[in-house]
Every structure is written in C-alpha cells, then in structure tokens.
Amino acid sequence: MQRGLDSQTKKQLEEEEKKIISEEHWYLDVPDLKEKESHIIEERSFLRCEDLVYGRMSFKGFNPEIEKLMIQMNSKCKEEEIEEDDKMEADVSDEEMARRYETLVGTIGKKFLRKRDQRVLKDDDEDDEVEEGNSNPRPSKRAKKMFLKPQD
C-alpha cells in the first residue's frame, strides 16, 4: 500500500534499490564466445541445389505464350552466352534508319516554318516541277472559291 508510505520511507527504499542495481548488474560474468565463421549455408529448397527447369510447359504449339516463356526462362540459366552478345536484334537496320532520318528531318522542319517561308518553299517546288516538264502548272495560290450567285 504505497499511499501510506511517508516521503522518508520512500527515499530509503529508493536508495536501497540503487545500491542493488549498479553497473555490474547489466553485464553477465561470462567470457565472450568467439563466433565461428561458418562456411556452410543451410538451405531447405531443392531449387538452389539442383538445376530445375521452369514449371510451366507447352508442347507442339498448344499455348504459344507459354512456349515463348519457356525459351525465355530456360535461357536465363545460360546468361553467360547472352551477355557476350551485346548487339541487340533490331527490327530496323542501321541503313534504313539513316535513310529515314534524312527525309524525316526535312519533313518535320517544314512543319515549323513560318507562312512566308512555306510559300517560298512551295514556289521552289513548283519551279522544279516546271523545269522537269510536268503538265499543268498549278497556280501557286489556289483561287478562293467565291460565292456563286444562283443563276435563275
């Protein structure tokens, strides 16, 4: 019953506790055990020990996605061969890319020209056509369609 305790008895109790609990209380009197460096790892899974294939399989084209997956997963084991091959198979060859880019730059560039420059460009094109001898040189400016009055 702590309510009945005087302040004096409380102080006495605290001092007694402090005497008992000293620094030594927190350290066990046991020599340090040297931790053995172990070179053995315990493993409960067969996957790390044996070379097991991926569990999902498909044969003779029954499920084409799984067949693609099979090739992908089973080739992951042979990573060394893949790493040596740095070149990735490209869908488009380098030459085609170069050709595309040549014309691409011009096309995109035209988009951002101002109107005056566009007209100049078009005149040049038309002059070229005339020189080559094309038929019907078109007027550079299309005739604006005027409102036609109804002919009674």
Partner 1 sequence: MAAECGTAAEALVGQVVLPGDLLLLPAHYDEDAESERLRLSAGAAPQGRLLCGPGLRRSGAGLLVTKCGLLRHRPAGGGAYWVDSQQKRYVPVKGDHVIGIVTAKAGDVFRLDVGGSEPASLSYLAFEGATKRNRPNVQVGDLIYGQFVVANKDMEPEMVCIDSSGKSSGMGIIGQDGFLFKVSLGLIRKLLAPKCEIIQELSQLYPFELVLGMNGRIWVKAKTIQQTLIIVNILEACEYMTAEQRKQALAKLSGNR
Residues that bind partner 1 (CB under 8 A): 36-63, 66, 69, 73-74
**For partner 1, which is the closer residue by CB, 21 or 77?**
77
**For partner 1, which is the closer residue by CB, 76 or 110?**
76
What's the CA gap between 111 and 99, in Å, rounded?
Answer: 20
**For partner 1, which is the closer residue by CB, 74 or 118?**
74
DSSP annotation of 60:
T
- To the nearest 10°, report the CA torsion of 86, 89, 91, 97: 40
Q: Output 76-85 pairs: Cβ under 8 A, ≥24 positions apart.
A: 77/51
CB of residue 97 to partner 1, shortest distance in Å: 29
Q: How far lies 105's CA from each of 64, 67, 117, in Å?
A: 40, 41, 16
130 Cβ contact list (under 8 Å, min separation 6):
137
**For partner 1, which is the closer residue by CB, 63 or 140?**
63
CB of residue 116 to partner 1, shortest distance in Å: 51
CB of residue 84 to partner 1, shortest distance in Å: 19
CB of residue 89 to partner 1, shortest distance in Å: 21
Angle 46-38-34 (CA atoms, 0-180°, nearest 5)?
150
